[in-house]
Amino acid sequence: EYDGERNSEGERHGRGKARLPNGDTYDGEYEHGFRSGQGTYRFRNGACYTGKYLQNKKHGQGIFFYPDGSKYEGDWVNDQRHGYGVYTYANGDTYTGEWFNHNRHGQGTYVYKDTGAIYIGGWVNGNQEGEAELIYLNHRFKGKFLNGNPVGRGKYVFDTGCEQHGEYIQSEQDKGEVEEEEEPSLLVAPKWKASEITSLTLWTPHEENPPSPREVSVVVAAAAEAVEEREA
């Protein structure tokens, strides 16, 4: 059922309200029978979209509220999240960045609500991939990611004033006595292998001499302990 403006051809054209056969409702603008322009579409399952339409499809700026409490605010193209937008997840995490064909894709920032950690870097088809920086409360990791995991060479930078260089290596799984028909796990988290620790700045113009090796060793110990805590 439809209540609103029509053009001379009898098409829905202008402002109008409609109730669809499936129970969804739309309140907004029409052009030649299509939802086009600004409007609000309420789904029977509790979801709601408010934003731009083009020929019945979400297209342009809009906000989508999902049934689980999450929401997306940003660009839409041809009914898909595409362009730049902010997604707030049901658990409080947020992603701010580029989208392509409904997926996180390009450059973006993901904030983990529970830990306060922040991922800033590349995304490919929804997964963390490419050059990135993962920031924690008292240290950060700079390196590359693949399928959501760090991979290859990188470094940890600590607030204590040092850097731990190394690489993430795909560890071999200890299969042990495995039944023949039992499939080994394909997903094994890569292990961090440290190679060297260096100071961020060994000295400053205000100091006559750089710190002694003993002073640097204290910083090194603190760095190693922080990495062990993260892997625990």
What tens digit of pLDDT does each residue of 15-59 get? 999 999 999 999 999 999 999 999 999 999 999 999 999 999 999
pLDDT of residue 104 exceeding 80: yes
Q: Name the domain boundary from 67, 88, 111.
A: 67
What rounded mean pLDDT belongs to the chain?
85
Residue type, 201: T
Q: pLDDT value at position 145?
A: 96
Q: Are residues 102 and 62 both part of a single domain?
A: no
Q: Are residues 62 and 102 both part of a single domain?
A: no
Q: Which residue bears the tokens 């995490």?
A: 93
Q: pLDDT value at position 177?
A: 43
The gap from C-alpha 72 to its chain's centroid, in whole angstroms, comes to 12
Q: Which residue bears the tokens 């088809």?
A: 125
Q: Are residues 146 and 227 both part of a single domain?
A: yes
Q: pLDDT value at position 228?
A: 53
For residues 99-117, give the mean pLDDT: 97
Q: Are residues 221 and 145 both part of a single domain?
A: yes
Total tally of structural domains belonging to the chain:
2
Q: Are residues 162 and 110 both part of a single domain?
A: yes
pTM of the full predicted structure? Answer: 0.79
Q: Name the domain boundary from 22, 51, 67.
A: 67
Q: Which position has the higher pLDDT, 227 or 69?
A: 69
Q: Are residues 128 and 221 both part of a single domain?
A: yes
d(CA 158, CA 36): 52
Residue 166 CA: distances (Å) to CA of 12, 93, 130, 145, 217: 64, 29, 17, 14, 18
Q: Which position has the higher pLDDT, 194 or 97?
A: 97
Q: Are residues 127 and 51 both part of a single domain?
A: no
Coil, helix or strand at residue 180 = coil
Q: Are residues 47 and 159 both part of a single domain?
A: no
d(CA 222, CA 230): 13
Q: pLDDT value at position 225?
A: 55
Residue 102, domain extent: 96-170+190-202+210-231
d(CA 105, CA 85): 11
Q: Are residues 6 and 63 both part of a single domain?
A: yes
The pair of structure tokens assigned to 86 is 């902010």
pLDDT of residue 122 exceeding 80: yes
For residues 71-89, give the mean pLDDT: 98
d(CA 105, CA 88): 16
Q: Which position has the higher pLDDT, 177 or 100?
A: 100
Domain of 49: which CATH number? 2.20.110.10
**CB–CB of 132/122 below 8 Å?**
yes
Q: Each residue of 200-232: pLDDT tens digit?
A: 744 444 444 444 444 444 444 444 454 455 555
The pair of structure tokens assigned to 151 is 């991979």
Q: Are residues 50 and 101 both part of a single domain?
A: no
Q: pLDDT value at position 213?
A: 42
pLDDT of residue 188 exceeding 90: no
Q: Are residues 10 and 115 both part of a single domain?
A: no
Q: Are residues 222 and 153 both part of a single domain?
A: yes
Q: Is residue 220 part of a domain?
A: yes
